[in-house]
Structure 1
């Protein structure tokens, strides 16, 4: 389970701001070769996925009407990421017990994708019995797009491990990823709110449990 840190809201236009998702699911893989008792080198991979869907229905008060008007808003999008790269690993047994402290740090390539971005704004008259001129209401609006980018990132993890069997253990780990994107591009400019690229900074911390094997 991964959580967002800091602020990574994206302003695609004056009316379309994509907020960071609060949390997402991130399965991953670590493989390392230990050239000494305490230190090794290896690779990391993780896949992150999350989605956002929010609706609001509030009275529209920016203009006055002789009848109640409500503004309905909906915003939805999906986010996916892939992280892959080398890392340095460390492990330190706690005395003669079956417990061990583990850590790793790496420089990774980070691919981020925002898809299915769709924001709808529509105005609804509260009483269906009223006969009104719909042109008096603001125009309904629908916006959307899709964006993706690749950046170099930094990852750091710390864990505690318990030796279940001679060749297997269970690990509880916390890990962080930071990736500054200099450019996120719309692969299909015709469907986006505008054709400009934008930058983004992603910071996440993850909490996970894993089974590991050693040979």
Structure 2
């Protein structure tokens, strides 16, 4: 089981959000963000979500949880189901940031391009977005409580939890091969929308040294 779930962990969301819609009813908007470069096209991304939908809800609700194996039930018919879904879908050509601000105000879309024309697919309780840089999936589901304590996945006892710091660091993206970091005595490249490399951008924003250097 741990080998199978590693396929999901290798492509887990780079960034997640979970916002309660109605805490009395225990509903929440769950959102995951992946780099567009991780999938060949939107159809492949939707198939990925269909295949691993059983673990997306608990993972997004609590990325550090270690009981995912008990939730892991991959859909063997994901490709066929996704193809049928996409055939019947009615994509919108709109700016995803504006669309989210109007229809899902609790979702933080600040990382999205404010001027791009993106693809948005919406149904009753879920949404798929394709932008120049990102694939995004959002859905409404029960607000899960984090397990206590976090059980360990077999073979991953020493793996670092996918923390908020790690999410932030990875979300910065690749460093430039041609434009250097502004920090003195640093030979790394800048990340997009910053004058610093990943570790130094982390330090500049968080006010403390980055625990990551990769």
Does TM-score exceed 0.5, indicating one fold? Answer: no
The TM-score normalised by the length of structure 1 is 0.23
Larger CA Rg, structure 1 vs 2: 1
- Compare the two structures and name the one with the higher helix fraction: 2
The structure carrying a bigger strand percent of its residues is 1
